Amino acid sequence: MSQEILAPRRRGSRGTSSRATLILGLALTGVVVVLALVSLVWLPYAQGDTSGGRLEGASAAHWIGTDKLGRDLFTQLMIGARIALSVGAGSVAIAAVLGITLGLVAAFARPWLDDTLSAWLDVMIAFPVLLLAMLIVAVQGASLGSVILAIGLGMSAVIARLTRVLAKRVLQEQYITAARTSGTRWLGIVFGHVLPNIAPMLASALALQFGIAVLAEASLSYLGLGAPPPNASWGRLLQEAQGTVLTAPLGAIVPGLALVVLVLGVNFIADGLRAFTDPTTRRAR
C-alpha cells in the first residue's frame, strides 16, 4: 500500500526534475546566445581598440577590466560568445548531415557493406575529436572555417554509429515489414518511419556534441590552432591571460566561467531532452 502511494510522487518528481533541468539548460545557454546576438549590433568598444590602460581592473568604463594590450575584456567576451556558438552550430550541422547519412546507409546496406562501414566508424571513434581536429587544422591552416570542418568531421563518426544502431532497431519493427510489403520505397521508410522515431534521441546526442565542439574549439585556440587573431575566442583569451593571472585574474576567470556556463547549459538541455524522449521515463510519467 505504501509503495503504491509513493510511486506517483516519485514519478511526478522525476518529471519535475526533467523540466527543471531543461529550463536551467535553456536559461544558461540563453545568456550566451543573448551576448552573441547583441554583439552583432553593439559592442562597448571596437574589437581592436587598445585605448584602455593595460591590465586595468573592473570599472564603469571597462566592466571586467582590460587585457595586456589595453583591449576591453567584455568586448572580447561578447565576440567570443559569437565564435563559440558559430563553431558549435556549424560543427553539429556537419556532424548531423554526414553522421546521419552514413548511419542510415549502414543500417540499410547489405551485411558486407554494413560491416565495412562499422569497422571504419570504429577506427574514427578511436581517434579523440581534438586530436583529429588538430591534424586537419594543421594540414589546412588555422581558420574559423577549418576549425568548424575539423570538429564536425571528428564528431560525425559518433553520430553515424548512433544513427545506425537506432535505425536498425526501428527496421526490426513490424510496421516496417508492413510498409515494405505494401511497396513503400526505402526513402519513404526513412522519412516516414525511421527518422521520426530516432529524431528525439539524435537531438539529445547532438546537444551533447555541441558542448564537445565548444570545448574542442577552445582547446584548439588555446594551442594556437584555432581562429587566428583578431578573433577573440575564449580559448585564446585564456591563453593570453595565463601569464597575468595573478595581476589580472578576471582575464582568465571570466572566459573560463563563460565556457562552463555554455557547456553546462547544453549538457542540461541534452539531459532534459533525453528524459522527455526516453520511453521508460515517459511511461513513468
Predicted local distance difference test score (pLDDT) of residue 283: 47
Residue 280, judged by CB atoms within 10 A of its CB (0-12, 13-18, 19+), counts as exposed
Say yes or no to pLDDT of 16 above 90.
no
| pLDDT tens-digit series, residues 124-158 | 888 788 888 888 887 887 788 889 999 999 899 99
Say yes or no to pLDDT of 221 above 50.
yes
Predicted local distance difference test score (pLDDT) of residue 131: 83
Query: What average pLDDT does range 8-32 have in this prediction?
Result: 78
DSSP state of 72: B
Predicted local distance difference test score (pLDDT) of residue 181: 85
Nearest in space to 244 (alpha carbons), one of 83, 65, 76: 65
Report percent pLDDT > 70 for the chain. Answer: 92
Yes or no: say if 251 and 240 are a contact pair by the CB < 8 Å rule.
yes
Q: Give the number of other CB atoms < 10 A from CB of residue 255.
A: 27
| pLDDT tens-digit series, residues 250-282 | 999 999 999 999 999 999 999 988 877 765 444
Mean pLDDT of the chain: 86
- What the block records as the C-alpha cell of 111 is 551485411
| pLDDT tens-digit series, residues 224-236 | 888 777 778 999 9
Query: In 3-state terms, what secondary structure has residue 285?
Result: coil
Query: What average pLDDT does range 105-115 have in this prediction?
Result: 90
Predicted local distance difference test score (pLDDT) of residue 144: 87
Predicted local distance difference test score (pLDDT) of residue 15: 61
Nearest in space to 140 (alpha carbons), one of 127, 152, 123, 158: 152
| pLDDT tens-digit series, residues 238-252 | 998 888 888 888 999
- What the block records as the C-alpha cell of 33 is 546566445
Q: What is the pTM of this model?
A: 0.88
